[in-house]
Chains A and B, each alone.
Chain A
Amino acid sequence: MNDSLPPEPLPDGLPEVLRGALRDADAPSTGRESAIAAAMATFDQIHTGATVIDLQQRRRRSTRVLSIAAAVVVVVGAALAIRSLTGDSGEKSVTAIQASEARQTDQSVAKSAAPAVAPAASTEERVGGAASDAKSESSTDAATDAATNAGQAPTAMSAVLAAESPAELADLYRQIRQQTADPSIQLDCLPEDSVAVARILYQGRDAVLVETGPRIQALAASDCTTLATANP
């Protein structure tokens, strides 16, 4: 080992112009976002004990989630078609579809449905424990029926979703949003300051999905524990 060699080749070491260029390596934005998302998922895991679902795991589930989402949409459509044909306003099965969008998109529908629409906090009661095992089961709820009975086709629908896991819930929400281009079938999205909130259920509890920019986080409404973090 020769530690005495050599003298500095240049008075100021590396030319500043080269040093500056060395420090700027044009970090790709996609890599940045993905790295930060992964690190923040770790942060959440440390500070909240939340379950973190990695990207590969999410991808493996995507096909199954798509099937579930498609089944939900089909059942909703079938239920709507049957009701419009029969005008039946009888007993409703629990779980799944709620027409709360009426209050946003059609005030008259909302008004006519008002007596039958329970406040958000009571949705869980109406859905009950069936949510956790009702992945593809769905039906219209009282608000939809009220709107239908009033002779008005519902202008928008919203869904209360049930899933086996937080990650599945997040995927389900995202996939349905992608699949349901038809504006008449929507989740219960309440735009607030560019944040979309969907009313959903997880293990029979209320949960809220918060979508902010490119990232989706599923938060339990009761304690704000992060259930899943995912990249679209």
Chain B
Amino acid sequence: MVAELDDAALVRAAQGGDRRAMDALLRHQYDRIYAVCRRITGNDADAADVSQNTLIAIVRALPRFDGRSSFSTWCYRIATNASLDELRRRRRHPTSSIDIDDQPVSLPDTKAVDALDLVVDRLALSQALERIPDDFRVPLVMRDVADMDYGEIAEDLAIPLGTVKSRIARGRALLTSNYLAAIGNQPGIDERPSFGS
């Protein structure tokens, strides 16, 4: 709450042209913005570029920020959209949502999940996330990293609310299973081959 109040004051100052306030806001948000971009784009180089574009977009759009959502959520939404633009530009994977949503997903072993170490193997987690198709990974990141609500995600991705919820659930299951597989606890689930088929 205190951070939100601070952000609100900084936003007002930055909107009034206060350079220090703008700098402080950007520094405060950068790490999570980078995380959103990194988790969606899947690599560091693109994440760095998209993060920079996001900061520039934030600066340009700040005069229009009306405070209806929190500043951080607004920033993450910009980051998400910039990352989606990058994905669309790359066109790495064709979209075939009907096939994707009909694919069965195995649930991870809850005992294995319970036994997850507190220290996460970050490389294994990144690899596990990258094995998840964009259509599942993106809403998962929007929800669990960017803290966007289901409605915002549905709006930004132009898909129904129910689809958003199901894809997030599937994404979480895939991520957990793939991560457990990556650290050797159980077989993983890789749905990427189903794309384009």
- Chain A positions within 8 Å of B, measured between CB atoms, are 1-10, 13-15, 17-28, 31-32, 34-36, 38-40, 42-44, 46-47
Please judge, given known A-B contacts A14-B172, A17-B118, A18-B125, whether A2 and B44 are in contact too, CB under 8 Å. no
Give the residues from 10 to 69 in chain B that come closer than 8 angstroms, CB to CB, to chain A. 14, 17, 19, 22-23, 26-27, 30-32, 34-35, 38-39, 44, 47-48, 51-52, 55-56, 58-60
Inter-subunit contact B105/A6 (CB<8 Å): yes
Inter-subunit contact B160/A39 (CB<8 Å): no
B65 CB → nearest A CB, Å: 14
Please judge, given known A-B contacts A8-B169, A39-B52, A44-B19, whether A18 and B35 are in contact too, CB under 8 Å. no
A176 to B184, CA, bound (A): 57
A4 to B163, CA, bound (A): 8
B113 within 8 A of A: yes
A21 to B144, CA, bound (A): 11
The interface residues of chain B lying within 8 Å CB-to-CB of A2 are 101-102, 166
> Which of B1-9, B83-91, B173-181 contacts the other chain?
B173-181
B-side interface mostly: helix
Inter-subunit contact A6/B48 (CB<8 Å): no
Inter-subunit contact A10/B101 (CB<8 Å): no
- Chain B positions within 8 Å of A, measured between CB atoms, are 14, 17, 19, 22-23, 26-27, 30-32, 34-35, 38-39, 44, 47-48, 51-52, 55-56, 58-60, 97-98, 101-102, 105, 107-108, 110, 113, 116-118, 120, 122, 125, 129, 140-141, 144-145, 160, 162-163, 165-166, 168-170, 172-173, 175-176, 179
Please judge, given known A-B contacts A9-B173, A42-B60, whether A19 and B144 are in contact too, CB under 8 Å. yes
Please judge, given known A-B contacts A17-B116, A24-B35, A27-B31, whether A9 and B169 are in contact too, CB under 8 Å. yes
Inter-subunit contact B52/A27 (CB<8 Å): no
Inter-subunit contact B22/A10 (CB<8 Å): no
Please judge, given known A-B contacts A14-B144, A18-B120, A23-B32, whether A31 and B163 are in contact too, CB under 8 Å. no
Give me 14 other A-B pairs in contact (C-beta within 8 A), A13-B169, A14-B140, A18-B175 excluded: A3-B166, A5-B166, A8-B172, A9-B176, A14-B144, A14-B175, A22-B129, A27-B38, A32-B31, A36-B26, A39-B22, A40-B23, A43-B22, A43-B59
The interface residues of chain B lying within 8 Å CB-to-CB of A42 are 56, 59-60
